[in-house]
Amino acid sequence: QVQLIESGGGLVQAGGSLRLSCAASGRTFNTYAMGWFRQAPGKEREFVASSSSRGRTNYADSVKGRFTISRDNAKNTVYLQMNSLKPEDTAVYYCAAHTTFRSGYYYKADWYDSWGQGTQVTVSS
C-alpha cells in the first residue's frame, strides 16, 4: 500500500472553485491508477473521477464538464480541479490508488487498494 495525503478542501460558495491535491508515497506513482471518490453524510461513497496510469480520465456524470482530474508524475501528485461547485457537491473527498494488476472497474471503490484520510468540501448556497 501507498500513503496518500489529500489537501485543498474547505468552504466555498456555490459557483466557486476548489482544487484538491493528493500526494502519494512510492517510487512507481506513474504506474498507479488514481481515483477520487466522495461521501456525503448518510450516503454511500461514490465515484467522482479517475486517471489511468497513462492519463486516461473518466468522470461521474454528475461532475462531467465541471471537474477535471490531472496528475503530475514528477511530483507524485494527483489533482481534482472543481469548478461551478454546487451544494450537492458537499462531501468528504477521498483520494485512492490502484497499485496492483488486479482486474476490476475504475468506478468501483473496491478496485483501489490505498486510500487517503479524506478532505472536507462544503459548498454553501
List the beta bridge partners of residue 12.
Answer: 123
What is the C-alpha separation between 125 and 111, in angstroms, rounded?
34
Model pLDDT for residues 67-97, shown as the tens digit of each residue: 999 999 999 999 999 999 999 999 999 999 9
Tell me the torsion sign for CA atoms 122, 84, 86, 6: negative
| The C-alpha cell that represents 18 in the structure block | 476548489
Output the pLDDT for position 20.
Answer: 98
Distance in angstroms (rounded) separating the CA atoms of residues 72 and 74: 5
Quickly state the pLDDT bin for 103 (edges 50, 70, 90). confident
Q: SS3 of 69, please?
A: strand
Residue 104's pLDDT band, with cuts at 50, 70 and 90, is confident
Residue 19 has pLDDT above 90, yes or no: yes
Contacts of 117 (CB under 8 A, 6+ apart): 5, 6
**Distance of alpha carbon 47 from alpha carbon 36, whole angstroms:** 7
Exposed (0-12), middle (13-18) or buried (19+): which is 64, by Cβ within 10 Å? exposed
- The residue behind cell 490505498 is 114
pLDDT in tens, 27-58: 899 999 999 999 999 999 999 999 999 999 99
